[in-house]
């Protein structure tokens, strides 16, 4: 991702193409999450059944599918995160071109804060609020409801996935496996909700920024 000269005059650059690629990536990620939810549900039912031999055979068959789904999910996440970072950088940079002043962060820091422990729990959310509010010409510190719901779902989904992995790694009984799978199912559902909310945020911001730029160019 190219970093613009901070002293250069900001120029508006449409994020339309980037936003569409982000949407495709998020929907692909959601479909893979649905696949993993289906697998986890099947495994949960199998583990809970009395047909031990049948359950064992089923679990063996699902192992390969689960491994493929996991690899595909990671690849999808990396691709989507990369394009999303470019979209966020450009959208934040566009705020300057749209005449928004008193921005709390630089475009690079709006993206880079994701990679700083502890800080990544709050600052990416604040930066997205800046993008949303700046695009609508509203006070930057204001928390936009849709952005808040997206970030809450993202954090909760990650917490549930980590908890699920912890349960499954230390599982020594059928009940502990069931708990781990159940928590993982909940995490998958929440992550899908987070992806859908982010789709709405990305598309809304992109369209509104283009509209503002077109209105400004007309005088």
Domain range for 43 is 16-217
Helix (H, G, I), strand (E, B) or coil at 136: coil
- The predicted model scores a pTM of 0.87
Query: What is residue 4's DSSP assignment?
Result: P
What are the pLDDT digits (tens) for 101-129?
889 999 999 999 999 999 999 999 999 99
In a domain, 49, yes or no: yes
* 178 sits in which H/E element: helix 174-217
Candidate from 138-147, 167-176, 190-199 with smallest mean pLDDT: 167-176
Distance between alpha carbon 207 and the CA centroid of its chain, in Å?
Answer: 19
pLDDT band at 56 (very low <50, low <70, confident <90, very high): low
Yes or no: say if 66 and 36 are a contact pair by the CB < 8 Å rule. Answer: yes
pLDDT of residue 64 exceeding 70 = no
- The count of structural domains within the chain is 1
Q: Taking the CB of residue 78, how many other CB atoms lie within 10 A of it?
A: 11
* CA distances (Å), origin 83, targets 89, 100, 152: 10, 24, 22
Rounded Cα distance between 98 and 108, Å, is 18
206 in any annotated domain: yes
Are 24 and 165 within 8 A, CB to CB? no
In a domain, 8, yes or no: no
Asked if residue 11 is part of any domain, the answer here is no
Query: pLDDT of 36-49, one tens digit each?
Result: 888 878 877 776 66
Q: Would 6 be classed as within a structural domain?
A: no
Assigned domain for 152 exists: yes
Residue 33 corresponds to which tokens in the numbers above? 């999450």
192 contacts 33 by C-beta, under 8 angstroms: yes
**DSSP state for residue 121 in the 8-state scheme:** G
Evaluate whether residue 175 is within a structural domain: yes
Whether 7 is in a domain gets the answer no
């Amino acid at each position: 991702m190219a970093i613009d000269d901070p002293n250069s005059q900001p120029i508006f650059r449409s994020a339309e193409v980037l936003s569409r690629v982000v949407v495709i990536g998020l929907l692909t990620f959601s479909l893979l999450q649905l696949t993993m939810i289906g697998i986890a549900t099947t495994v949960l039912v199998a583990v809970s059944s009395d047909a031990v031999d049948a359950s064992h055979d089923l679990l063996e068959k699902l192992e390969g599918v689960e491994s493929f789904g996991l690899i595909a999910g990671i690849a999808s996440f990396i691709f989507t995160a990369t394009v999303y970072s470019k979209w966020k950088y450009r959208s934040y940079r566009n705020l300057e071109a749209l005449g928004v002043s008193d921005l709390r962060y630089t475009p690079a820091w709006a993206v880079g804060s994701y990679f700083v422990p502890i800080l990544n729990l709050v600052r990416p959310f604040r930066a997205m609020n800046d993008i949303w509010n700046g695009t609508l010409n509203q006070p930057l510190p204001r928390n936009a409801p849709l952005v808040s719901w997206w970030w809450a779902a993202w954090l909760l989904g990650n917490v549930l996935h980590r908890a699920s992995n912890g349960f499954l790694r230390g599982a020594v009984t059928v009940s502990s496996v069931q708990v781990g799978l159940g928590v993982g199912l909940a995490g998958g559902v929440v992550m899908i909700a987070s992806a859908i909310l982010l789709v709405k945020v990305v598309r809304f911001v992109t369209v509104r920024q283009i509209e503002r730029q077109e209105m400004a160019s007309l005088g």
